[in-house]
Structure 1
Amino acid sequence: MRHLLGERIRHLRKLRGITQKDLAKGICTQAQVSNLERGTGNENPSSQVLYLLSERLQVDMSYLYGQYKTNYKNSTNQLEVKSVIDNLKSRRDYLSLKYVIDNELSAEKNKYISPFQKQYLYWHQAICAYHYSNDFNYAEKLINSALIMEVDQENEETHIQKIEIKVSYGLILYYEKVYDLATKLFLECIDEQKKFTSSQSKNKILPKILFNLSKCYTAQENYDKALSYCLEAIDICVENDSLYLLGDVIYQAGYNYYMLGQLEEALSHMNDALIIFNIQKNDNLVKFVKIKINELTAI
């Protein structure tokens, strides 16, 4: 038990990139941490010391005592930070997003966040690097760093986050007009997503992949294939009563119908998208779709 305890403390400490001194600060001595990690010493650590160490390592104390799976604690602060980041990303407020991420990745805070959370932050730092700083090379470097990062516990949640990171990478490649690589990446994401059965995987991740894959095929003027992926995404959204991306995908379908010369279907889908954007009070997209509809009706 003492050997297992020491192994797990050492492994978690190294994952976090903190020293024995950092881990011990305010809890015990560095020598005690060293003895714990080596499984040496005659003195058994008190439950209070182990509790405080587990808090700093952000795992349940039961994991240190031999529970098989790591159970990283999602502190209230981390959940709030994730909510803020997701909100800023959806609003495309990349300046504020950059400020939040830089603050969370500051040297002091960086010691005490889980590898899974650190991967999440690197991913969004890459998004900022591309959309705010217009630095493709740095964004690509950050994404690759996030993808190879060891997150300790492999489960559906960690695999889905990795898929989402790949989707973001594919989207950046799409913006860079590297359509063949983006298409290949999105197809790989579809195959990886099929391994999971959670509602998040099917209702949110799959429509996003299909939507972006459709955009790649549209850019390559393969409108039939682009439309087929749009219609598949629409079916998933409707089947699950989800408005997430539904307006975007319906508009995308309308555009592909237009490029295939099917004007009536194009207008029908664009009007449906307009209704959804109005419900969502997305004024920018409402204005954009109205302009497109007026252009088509003037033909």
Structure 2
Amino acid sequence: MRIGEKIKNRRREIKMTQSDLSEGICTQAMISRIEKRKVRPSRELMEKLAERLEVSLHYFYGEDSIESRYSKTTQLSKLVRQHLERREYDTVSYLIDSNEELIQQAIGEDGLFFEWVKGLLFDYRDGDNDKALNHLIRLEKEMKNGELRLEVIDSIGNQYLKKEEYDIAEKYYHKGFDMFSEWMNHEKKAKLMLNYSICLAQQDKYGECLSIVFQGLDLVVEQKTLFLLGDFLYYKGFCLEKLEQKEDALSAYKQAWTIFDIQQNEKFTVSMQLTIDRLGKELIK
């Protein structure tokens, strides 16, 4: 049985429409084309569809397929991602070093993923910003458009932001922003947009920063997630305050405080409260 037929059968088995399956992953038209065998989906897309359909990749490809043999690499990359999200770079470094043989056999998207992680470790583990930049820039040139390339571009921007070379960082963030597609993961897009906003704010480009912030807010609100919502609200308040719209800024700061409080982020709630108190006193004067 072909992949498209298996997707259709499983979708119907769990009473899921094409629209339900595609939501937040790709277009409904793409699902239709896959099921009609008009296009062969990438493994990255298949991983997302398998997760939505609550089956493993083995369900579609079989235990002895090449795709199935990639499962160990895929599991490792997911584990590495989890620790990257928590900025646990020592653990990431251990995982990379202890799975060197497996990583050397990785090809395609998996191979590029581990090369990206290697570039991050040059900076966050070794403290070599220039080596990280050279590695990431070279890697980005080898990649096709997609979510991973978006992350690499974001990482390059972050490296230049760290070096306070804001004009170059801005060019990379803008490049990533122009790559956005509806099928891309909203969290990856939100991260780039937040970093883009920070870069613009650092250059006193408050109007441009607000434009990106509002788009970031629209994105996370549309997804009904708190992910980076507090951060976007903070930069909304920051830019409004710099533009002398202090009452609106105070409102945004209070909203940010609420989000950070819900997330039990004590560090940010304390910082936000100090900002709110300061601005509140200024408005009374």
Task: Determine if the alignment matches structure 1 residue 225 to structure 2 residue 212.
Answer: no
Alignment of 1:1-299 (within 5 A): 72-73=67-68, 75-104=70-99, 106=100, 108-149=101-142, 159-193=146-180, 196-198=181-183, 200-201=184-185, 203-299=186-282
Contact 1:119 1:149 in 2 (8 A): no
Closer, same or farther: CA 137–235 of 1 in aligned 2, 3 Å: same
Closer, same or farther: CA 138–131 of 1 in aligned 2, 3 Å: same
CA deviations over 1:164-186 (Å, ceiling 9, x no partner): 11111111111111111111111
Q: Secondary structure at the match of 2:224?
A: coil
Closer, same or farther: CA 125–284 of 1 in aligned 2, 3 Å: farther
Q: Secondary structure at the match of 2:146?
A: helix
CA deviations over 1:160-209 (Å, ceiling 9, x no partner): 1111111111111111111111111111112222xx331x34x2333323
Closer, same or farther: CA 288–127 of 1 in aligned 2, 3 Å: farther
Q: CA deviation at 1:280?
A: 2.1
- Look up the match of 1:27: none
Q: CA deviation at 1:270?
A: 1.5
Q: Secondary structure at the match of 1:83?
A: helix
Structure with larger Rg: 1
CA deviations over 1:217-256 (Å, ceiling 9, x no partner): 1111111111111011101211221222211111111111
Contact 1:72 1:114 in 2 (8 A): no
TM-score, normalisation: structure 1 = 0.66
Structure 2 unaligned spans of 5+: 1-60
Q: Provide the C-alpha distance between the structure 2 equivalents of 1:113 and 1:277, rounded to a whole number of angstroms.
A: 39
Percent of pairs identical after alignment? 23
Q: Secondary structure at the match of 1:243?
A: coil
Q: CA deviation at 1:149?
A: 4.4
Q: Provide the C-alpha distance between the structure 1 equivalents of 2:209 and 2:257, rounded to a whole number of angstroms.
A: 20
TM-score, normalisation: structure 2 = 0.69
Q: AA paired with 2:94?
A: Y
Q: AA paired with 2:126?
A: S
Structure 1 unaligned spans of 5+: 1-59, 65-70
Closer, same or farther: CA 229–103 of 1 in aligned 2, 3 Å: same
Q: Provide the C-alpha distance between the structure 2 equivalents of 1:125 and 1:206, rounded to a whole number of angstroms.
A: 22
Aligned length: 222
Q: Provide the C-alpha distance between the structure 1 equivalents of 2:231 and 2:160, rounded to a whole number of angstroms.
A: 20
